[in-house]
Amino acid sequence: MTEPAYDLIIRGGRVATTTDVFEADVAIAGEAIVAVGRGLGPAKREVDARGKLVLPGGVDSHCHIEQLSAAGIMNADTFESATTSAAFGGTTSVISFAAQHVGMQLGQVLKDYHALARRGAVIDYAFHMIIADPTKETLERDLPLLIRQGHGSIKIFMTYDRLKIDDEPLLDILVAAREGGAMLCAHAENHGIISWMVKRLLARGYSHPKYHAISHTRFSEAEAFNRLIGMAALVDQPIMIFHVSTAEGAQTIRDARGQGLKVFAETCPQYLFLTADDLDKPGAEGAKWMCSPPPRRKDDQEALWKALALGDLQTISSDHAPYRFDETGKLRAGPNPNFKQVANGLPGLEMRLPLLFDAMVSKGQLGLEKFVELTATAPAKIYNLHPRKGSIAVGADADIAIWDPDRRITVTDAMMHDLAGYTPFAGRSLQGWPVTVLSRGRVIVESGKLNASPGSGRFLARSGGEAAKPTGRLVADMSPEQNFGAKLL
């Protein structure tokens, strides 16, 4: 008897890409998709996908895993728990952070995070390198080598007391990113406005979690976007603006892209489904909904949906940053902390895709192909993981989520597989659920159970790729001052 040609066939589902939805079998040999078509087979194993959607596994390009905050608070999750929760939510690749703090040697930081991920991850992963200490050694010695070793993106913060990068060193980092061919990602908010507001609010007794949203004024976002875009344009460095939360922020990006600048941007479910009112709960409860930037208003949600439709925003990530609602996390300063004492961040790896599937596919906002694009294909392309990740195509890794479009669930804290102990989306009723998930051909989630061992995820080495390439406009059609800027690089 001859061996079947395929290891696994996903039979009879509706396959979706960014442009098409069609009925097909998907055949897998080893770790890769080797055929997409009708009547394929035989295979050693078959998964019946009739009545289901066969989608690329999600790519979550912004999540904080096993990360020490600058204030010294450890995330609730390990790589094992975070990537397990990602898998249950239909995500099969994550890009998390290797976070340098002031005084740390970047090479050692990368080694440490690699060791954590190697031990725990159940799905594939890559790293953005957070630079908080842009010394000569970091920028000239460590960074070029680390980029060459497969870390094709850098992240900086323009706010947070112990992390923020001022404009001059930020220009140095932009140039270093350009020289290494890496993408520069940014948390862009105006530090001075926020810190002034925090001091004033607290001095006047406004300490409840809801004042967190007031301290991060809407304009502090658009202002920082604009400043960052100006600096990036000066040196012709592509940038990715993280977690856009306001209508003005989205407009700033639209304007920049309209000028042909290479500006990419993301938003997150918390800005599409939550508002600042969620922080307004009795006692400290609202701390569970505290993240930065904060959730805003209904009209911002509408503006963000429009920006997604227009292509101003290209990805939706979770910004998963889990802290427990107890003395190890959100309540580290006691049961009634002032808003400044509360760790910022929400768990979101597991609920990102189900929330978006419900809104985009079940309720029809933007549709299935756009869901695939925003949550898998576009992040894979921007961060140079494509065509290996983010698509159902021959030759791609068999990272696949099979969705039951009819399954209805009500979200509860107890359903979550991360270690935050709560989800900010509890109580919502959603339609559509990823019932079976494959990572490189392994069926890792099935019948509500995980079948993957810690450490089975692999590091995804990548260069900055196409998205991170300068436009060349610096010398072609920029103003004389801008051209003079080029001589200084």
Q: Which does 267 bind (CB under 5 to 8 A by kind): ligand DUC, Zn ion, none?
A: none
Q: Is the dihedral of CA 319, 324, 327, 330 positive or negative?
A: positive
Q: Which does 257 bind (CB under 5 to 8 A by kind): ligand DUC, Zn ion, none?
A: none
Nearer to Zn ion, 319 or 397 (CB): 319
Nearest one of 92, 80, 76, 12 to 47, comparing CA atoms: 12
How far apart (Å, rounded) are the C-alpha atoms in residues 455 and 425? 29
Nearer to ligand DUC, 342 or 396 (CB): 342
Closest separation between CB of residue 161 and ligand DUC, Å?
A: 12
How far apart (Å, rounded) are the C-alpha atoms in residues 204 and 209? 14
Distance of CA 320 to the CA centre of its chain: 8
Q: Is residue 187 close enough to count as binding Zn ion by CB under 5 A?
A: yes
Figure out which of the listed residues 130, 241, 303, 321 binds ligand DUC, where binding follows CB under 6 A: 321
Contacts of 222 (CB under 8 A, 6+ apart): 246, 248, 249, 251, 252
Figure out which of the listed residues 60, 319, 350, 373 binds Zn ion, where binding follows CB under 5 A: 319
Closest separation between CB of residue 158 and ligand DUC, Å?
A: 10
Q: Is residue 345 close enough to count as binding ligand DUC by CB under 6 A?
A: yes
Task: Scan residues 155-194 and list those touching ligand DUC (CB under 6 A).
Answer: 187
Using the structure block, give the residue that is written with the tokens 């061919």: 181
Q: Is residue 319 close enough to count as binding ligand DUC by CB under 6 A?
A: yes
Binding mask of the shown chain, residues 277 to 316, with x at each position contacting ligand DUC by CB under 6 A: --------------xx------------------------
How far apart (Å, rounded) are the C-alpha atoms in residues 426 and 295? 16
Please name every residue paired with 16 in a beta bridge, in sequence order, or none if there are none.
21
How far apart (Å, rounded) are the C-alpha atoms in residues 334 and 412? 26
Site size toward ligand DUC, by CB under 6 A = 8
Binding mask of the shown chain, residues 38 to 77, with x at each position contacting ligand DUC by CB under 6 A: --------------------------x-------------
Closest separation between CB of residue 103 and ligand DUC, Å?
A: 20
Q: Which does 344 bind (CB under 5 to 8 A by kind): ligand DUC, Zn ion, none?
A: ligand DUC
Phi/psi at 103 (5° precision) = 95, -10
Q: By CB neighbour count within 10 A (0-12 exposed, 13-18 middle, 19+ buried), where does 451 fall?
A: middle
Q: Which does 350 bind (CB under 5 to 8 A by kind): Zn ion, ligand DUC, none?
A: none
Closest separation between CB of residue 267 and Zn ion, Å?
A: 12
- 3 state DSSP class of 129: strand
How far apart (Å, rounded) are the C-alpha atoms in residues 445 and 452? 8
Closest separation between CB of residue 429 and ligand DUC, Å?
A: 26
Q: Is residue 266 close enough to count as binding Zn ion by CB under 5 A?
A: no
Cis status of the peptide bond prior to 424, with omega within 30 of 0: no
Nearest one of 221, 230, 275, 217 to 249, comparing CA atoms: 221
Q: Is residue 189 close enough to count as binding Zn ion by CB under 5 A?
A: no
Nearer to ligand DUC, 69 or 226 (CB): 69
Using the structure block, give the residue that is written with the tokens 């890009």: 95
How far apart (Å, rounded) are the C-alpha atoms in residues 466 and 447? 39
Nearer to ligand DUC, 319 or 397 (CB): 319
Using the structure block, give the residue that is written with the tokens 């019932």: 435
Residue 473 has a CB neighbour count (10 Å cut-off) of 15
Nearer to ligand DUC, 209 or 345 (CB): 345
The pair of three-digit structure tokens given for residue 406, joined into one six-digit string:
């009819």
Nearer to ligand DUC, 128 or 187 (CB): 187
Q: Which residues bind ligand DUC (CB under 6 A)?
A: 64, 187, 291-292, 319, 321, 344-345
Q: Which residues bind Zn ion (CB under 5 A)?
A: 187, 319
